[in-house]
Amino acid sequence: MTNEINKKIQRAKKPVIILICGMPATGKSTLAIKLAAELDFKVCIGVDEIKEVVKKYDNNPFLSKSSHDAWQLIGKRTEKNILSGFQKYCQGLKSGVMSIFEKSEKNGENIIIEGIQLLPKLYCHDLQNFNLFYFIIKSEYKNIYKEKIRHKILERHGKQVDVWSEKFREFILIEEEVLKQAERFKCHVLPEKNFYEQIEIIKNIIVRYEII
């Protein structure tokens, strides 16, 4: 099937863009890398990398925060402020992400971008010049996901694990908002399975899609 998909993508008149959104520890980065290798995509970028570039020329205060704590620039730790802060944080990165799309269109490059910041409502209407595939990884079991978050934070931040694990509430609220937008904009929701199963699901979707 992979050869069939690769030939289909090569015949496309418009670049193919694959966006992978999901919460921390759901396997976005690894899936993106493995999928890029499977489909022979030369460009695979994480939004966190784009963020580091954007911060050099944009003083947007929300970019000094993380997705889950941007609410601190708005007010108290309420559900409304958590979601509002997250959306402002994502909006602040849009110019950088769009610059990657513009380069892709100019060079005719197929790309994969992954990140929690890829809110469907920010991009679904702006990418008409591409063959767009939008995937959201859903964390199926919240208790297991919470443990995965703890382990990931422990690996990255050591003693900060107890402080960071308290952010679980923010991640769940953000995921619920992303999934609502995914339904509204008809994005594809991937179960949190192993990468090989996810790649097979993605390939089946691409096979059925009329690439132009």
Where is 183: in which H helix or E strand?
A: helix 168-184
Residues 181-206: tens digit of each pLDDT: 999 999 999 988 889 999 999 999 99
Q: pLDDT band for position 24 (50/70/90)?
A: confident
- H/E element, 46: strand 43-46
* SS3 assignment, position 11: coil
Using pLDDT thresholds of 50, 70 and 90, give the confidence band for residue 38.
very high
**78-107 per-position pLDDT tens digit:** 999 999 999 999 999 999 999 999 999 999
pTM of the model: 0.89
Alpha-carbon distance 122 to 145, whole Å? 26
pLDDT value at position 170?
A: 87
Q: Average pLDDT of 172-180? A: 93
pLDDT score recorded for residue 46: 97
Domains and CATH numbers, the chain: 2-208 (3.40.50.300)
Q: Where are the beta strands (DSSP E) in 107-207?
A: 111-114, 131-138, 188-191
Judge residue 163's burial from the number of C-beta atoms within 10 Å of its C-beta, 0-12 exposed, 13-18 middle, 19 or more buried: exposed
- Identify whether the C-beta of residue 180 lies closer than 8 Å to the C-beta of residue 188: no
pLDDT at 210: 85
pLDDT tens column, 118-168: 999 999 988 888 999 999 999 876 666 666 666 766 676 565 545 445 677
Alpha carbons 19 and 12: distance in angstroms, whole number: 18
Residue identified by tokens 């513009």 is 102
Specify whether the CB–CB gap between 17 and 43 falls below 8 A. Answer: no
| pLDDT of the residue at 7 | 86
**Number of DSSP helices (H) and strands (E) in the chain, helices first:** 9, 5
CB 175, CB 138: distance < 8 Å: yes
